């Protein structure tokens, strides 16, 4: 019986995690839950799973991680506020099932220096796919990682056409059902850029050896290419419960958690090169990833402000990446990477993005 703590339990990852646990009560026991604002939903979850220890807010979640014994902490928090709970989980020696990509993007070395080998298990479908494929060969046999992207709702659109995108269109993702920020990031491909940074940090693979390919069907979740020319791909229908279940009991699989592909039906999978002229987010993410320090945090924070402005009608769709690039160009990184310098850089990035947006 594995003792599971779910942070961000009322969000998309959190609720799906609880679905997996509910179907496998003989295997998993919930010992802690945290949320941010949905207190009534949190209380209902605590009652349903007989959980005495709950928390509301990021700082309270950190305390929960430290004070309550757990085998696995699922970090399903959205945004860079998830960094504190991630560090707390690692310092407490818990296995970290990580869906909060901002922890790695913003935290970088602050996270990796605290993590023991195998302590972080990725829950993002792309990184879970890579982790599964990497079991097929030794690290020195890896030539490159290939992350797949659905291409979002605007695959094939020209820059001129993208300039007319509305918030409602940006939220109409063809495959996944996600929150506003993540769905918009998928439309701009910022989400894929963040995942490239995350892959670099998680698997210690150089940026030059991480590629992105557009795969609209979202069946192949990512691939690992080896030095002998072979490629291992992980394929399954788009369902987050599969990578979540692996996060709960890595490297063991949970029977019946997902529906397998139907190999009796004719189907076609396509792969296309990324158009980095219309969608420069991946190229920009690699730039800030190579720069390191606080640059990835600035990239993420400026993007969050620009996404909010886009949905408020204060910024066009194309202006999201224009704003992010301008903030990055204006950034002077501090000498040391600390939680304090990260917080200061994020605050500066948000203010600078707001000023640039207001001046447009």
Say which DSSP state 137 is in: S
> What are the Cα distances from residue 244, in Å, to 21, 158, 163, 294?
10, 35, 36, 29
Q: What angle do CA 276, 195, 118 make, to 5 degrees?
A: 150
Q: What is the pLDDT of residue 178?
A: 65
Instruction: At 281, list the tokens.
Output: 């987010």
Q: Which class for 37: exposed (0-12), middle (13-18), buried (19 or more C-beta within 10 A)?
A: exposed
Residues of the chain short of pLDDT 50, as ranges, are none
Give the integer Cα–Cα distance in Å for 124 and 21. 18
pLDDT per residue as tens digits for the range 127-140: 999 999 999 999 99
What is the per-residue pLDDT across 19-49, written as a single tens digit (0 to 9) for each? Answer: 999 999 999 999 999 998 889 999 999 999 9
317: closest CA among 100, 152, 177? Answer: 152
Domains and CATH numbers, the chain: 2-123+240-249 (3.40.50.720), 124-237+261-279 (no CATH), 292-360 (1.10.1740.10)
Taking Cα atoms as reference points, which of 170, 151, 194 lies closest to residue 310? 170
Instruction: Give the per-residue pLDDT at 216.
Output: 93
The b-or-e profile of 242-270 (16+ CB within 10 A means b, else e) is bbbbbbbbbeeebeebbeeeeeeeeeeee
**CA–CA distance, 267 with 262 (Å, rounded to integer):** 9
pLDDT value of residue 172: 84
Enclosing H/E stretch for 142: strand 142-149
Give this prediction's pTM: 0.93
At residue 328, the pLDDT reads: 98
pLDDT per residue as tens digits for the range 188-200: 999 999 999 999 9
pLDDT at 78 (0 to 100): 86
Tell me which H or E stretch contains 323. Answer: helix 317-330
- The pLDDT of residue 262 is 94
């Amino acid at each position: 019986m594995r003792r599971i703590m779910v942070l961000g339990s009322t969000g998309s990852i959190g609720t799906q995690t609880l679905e997996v646990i509910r179907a496998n009560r003989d295997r998993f026991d919930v010992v802690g839950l945290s949320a941010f604002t949905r207190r009534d939903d949190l209380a209902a979850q605590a009652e349903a799973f007989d959980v005495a220890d709950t928390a509301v807010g990021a700082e309270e979640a950190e305390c929960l991680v430290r004070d309550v014994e757990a085998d696995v902490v699922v970090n399903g928090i959205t945004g860079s506020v998830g960094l504190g709970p991630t560090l707390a989980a690692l310092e407490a020696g818990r296995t970290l099932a990580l869906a909060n990509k901002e922890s790695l993007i913003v935290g970088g070395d602050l996270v990796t220096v605290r993590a023991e080998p195998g302590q972080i298990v990725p829950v993002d479908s792309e990184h879970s796919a890579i982790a599964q494929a990497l079991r097929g060969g030794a690290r020195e046999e890896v030539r490159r990682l290939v992350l797949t992207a659905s291409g979002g709702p605007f695959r094939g659109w020209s820059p001129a056409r993208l300039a007319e995108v509305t918030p409602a269109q940006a939220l109409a993702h063809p495959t996944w059902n996600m929150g506003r920020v993540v769905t918009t990031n998928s439309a701009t491909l910022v989400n894929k850029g963040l995942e490239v940074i995350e892959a670099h940090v998680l698997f210690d693979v150089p940026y030059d050896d991480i590629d992105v390919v557009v795969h609209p069907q979202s069946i192949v979740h990512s691939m690992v290419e080896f030095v002998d020319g072979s490629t291992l791909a992980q394929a399954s229908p788009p369902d987050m419960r599969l990578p979540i279940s692996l996060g709960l009991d890595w490297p063991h699989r949970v029977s019946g958690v997902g529906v397998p592909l139907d190999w009796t039906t004719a189907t076609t999978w396509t792969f296309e090169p990324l158009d980095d002229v219309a969608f420069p987010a991946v190229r920009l993410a690699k730039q800030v990833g190579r720069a390191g320090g606080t640059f990835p945090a600035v990239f993420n924070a400026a993007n969050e402000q620009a996404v909010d402005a886009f949905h408020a009608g204060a910024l066009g769709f194309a202006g999201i990446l224009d704003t992010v690039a301008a903030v990055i160009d204006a950034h002077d990184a501090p000498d040391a990477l600390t939680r304090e310098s990260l917080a200061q850089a994020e605050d500066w990035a948000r203010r600078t993005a707001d000023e640039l947006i207001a001046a447009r």
